[in-house]
Amino acid sequence: MQKIQRNPDVLWREEEGAREEALAGLDRGEDAAEVGTALLFANGQMLVLNMLGADIWQSCEGKSVDELVAGLLEEYEVDEAVLRADVTAFLAELAGKGFIRYA
Amino acid sequence: MTRVELRSPIRLYWDISPQPRVAPDYGRISAQVAVSRVLSLNLADLGPSLNHATLLVLRDLSLPQLSLTVSAAALQQALVLPEMEKVQKLLVDCAHAGEVEVAGIALLARSDKPGGISFRVSRGNLADLPTVAAWCERHRVELVLPMERLVTGEESLCLDRQEQAELSGRLAAACSLEALSVTIHDPFLWRIFHPRVPFPDGVCQAANTMLYVDPLGDVYPCPTMPVRLGSLLKQSWHEIVASGDKQEVRRRILALPAACSGCGRQADCRGGCRGRGYAGCKEWDDADPGCGETPGAE
């Protein structure tokens, strides 16, 4: 099973207070998907991540997609198929930008 | 998600030279920037030898990514500096093709770090650009076309559509643009190098992902935008980053210039370089003269 490797040249940071803002929005029943809580930056390209994206980025190193999805299922109350589809699409975007690779 | 307005920048461009009579407190600024969560510092010292201030900043400031641009005259000094340990990328400022070759060979021979050529394109050296690009491509050296320093009175380079097309053709004939590693901040220079690839920065990032500090310690949205946001001699980095003036600049930038309304290319260029548009008459609604379009023409 191939493992995910983050590109070490990618710089990233969590945005101050943004995760709390997203969680507060969720408590109010709002969609947190559009709240940027972290960003990645490499080769002049910036990618802003929502809470799920940030969690994927922070926990993906050295894991297979199955391991990553299993870990995230412990954090998110969501159907596995839906989560897997979101994770797969996001990883494809990261790979397309050269932010991760599989080895 | 792709882009948002950030509370604090991730990129800082800091020009150290020429040294002013009243120098900023480099240690204090470095300490404030260090805690501000800036990810990338692009330090430039283009004097004939490296300034003591540059060494102070390199010593005091640790960020995830640090690049240093030096003059060709100061390259040998830079290559043996102990402070270079912290520099991930060393760029050599060059003004013409001959200088690129000499500096580039020295860079390749001595540096164990990624290096590159910083080529400030102007009317005077525009004809050299294809040769410079070809040299960089052949030797696998990164080419950086730095942002124009309109803040310090540098003259801006504006090419009309015919000049852009001619330059694009000469570049494509001189080298493989796909194989060339090139950093371009100007959306219209980008279009010359990559006619079919959208400009990755999208809308102007001045005062959002980036800020610029000039040698006097004055802070600007970017090197091309002559709108002073504050002075690090009198204010803290945090005060300037959180200031209403900075937010107002972003509000202005996010509204397309009135002069671009009706232009069929505005969805692609998003007003182009807003600093260059503003610099001429200090009007936010002026178009970027570097776009090369004739107002009113399709």
Alpha-carbon Rg of chain A, whole angstroms? 14
Alpha-carbon Rg of chain B, whole angstroms? 19
Q: Do the Cβ atoms of B2 and A53 come within 8 Å?
A: no
pLDDT tens string A47-77 = 999 999 999 999 999 999 999 999 999 999 8
Is residue B164 very low, low, confident or very high in pLDDT (cuts 50, 70, 90)? very high
For B116, the 3-state DSSP assignment is strand
Mean pLDDT of the residues in chain A: 91
Mean pLDDT value across residues B153-172: 94
- Which segments of chain A does DSSP mark as H helices, in order? 18-27, 51-59, 65-73, 80-96
pLDDT at site B1: 47
Q: Do the Cβ atoms of A15 and B6 come within 8 Å?
A: yes
The alpha carbon of residue A44 is apart from the nearest alpha carbon of chain B, in Å, by 7
Residue of B nearest to A8 (CA): B64
Which residues, at least 6 apart from B131, have a Cβ–Cβ distance to it below 8 Å?
B97, B100, B174
pLDDT at site B268: 80
**pLDDT for residue A87 is more than 50:** yes
pLDDT at site B238: 96
pLDDT tens string B241-261 = 999 999 999 999 999 999 998
Q: Do the Cβ atoms of A48 and B40 come within 8 Å?
A: no
- What are phi and psi for residue B141, nearest 5 degrees? -110, 135
**pLDDT for residue B293 is more than 80:** no
Q: Do the Cβ atoms of A11 and B201 come within 8 Å?
A: no
**pLDDT for residue B2 is more than 50:** no
* B173 or B109, higher pLDDT: B173
Which of these, B142, A84, B59, lies nearest to A76 by C-alpha position? A84
Q: Do the Cβ atoms of B37 and A46 come within 8 Å?
A: no
Is residue B202 very low, low, confident or very high in pLDDT (cuts 50, 70, 90)? confident
Q: Which of A46, A50, A93 to mutate to test the interface with B (most CBs of B within 10 A)?
A: A46
Residue of A nearest to B200 (CA): A45
**pLDDT for residue B111 is more than 80:** no
The DSSP secondary structure of B10-76, one letter per residue, reads SEEEEE--SPPSS---HHHHHHHHHTTT--EEEEEE-SSS--HHHHHHHHH---SEEEEEEESTTHH
All structural domains of chain A? 4-102 (1.10.10.1150)
pLDDT tens string B63-94 = 999 999 999 999 999 999 998 889 999 999 99
